[in-house]
């Protein structure tokens, strides 16, 4: 669904033959906006979780490599 967000120009529709998604009709537009909402909610939760962990003194990212 990320790709469908790039086609919001007037007259451009997204049709997926693999997932039965067609943003040229009302149902397709509705499903695309639900997917966008879900993506935004996940992003907010991730950012909130990272901020909470940071305030508790936890470091994120990959562990540093130790060489012998």
Q: Where are the domains of the chain?
A: 2-55
As a whole number of angstroms, the distance between CA 11 and CA 67 comes to 57
Q: What is the pTM of this model?
A: 0.58
3-16 residue pLDDT tens: 555 666 667 776 66
- Look at the block and give the residue holding tokens 């537009």: 29
Please check the confidence at residue 55 and state whether its pLDDT lies above 90. yes
Say whether 1 sits in a helix, a strand or coil.
Answer: coil
């Amino acid at each position: 669904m990320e790709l469908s967000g790039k086609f919001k120009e007037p007259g451009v529709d997204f049709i997926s033959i693999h997932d039965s998604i067609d943003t040229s009709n009302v149902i397709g537009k509705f499903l695309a906006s639900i997917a966008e909402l879900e993506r935004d909610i996940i992003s907010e939760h991730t950012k909130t979780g990272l901020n909470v962990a940071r305030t508790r003194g936890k470091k994120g990212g990959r562990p540093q490599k130790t060489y012998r």
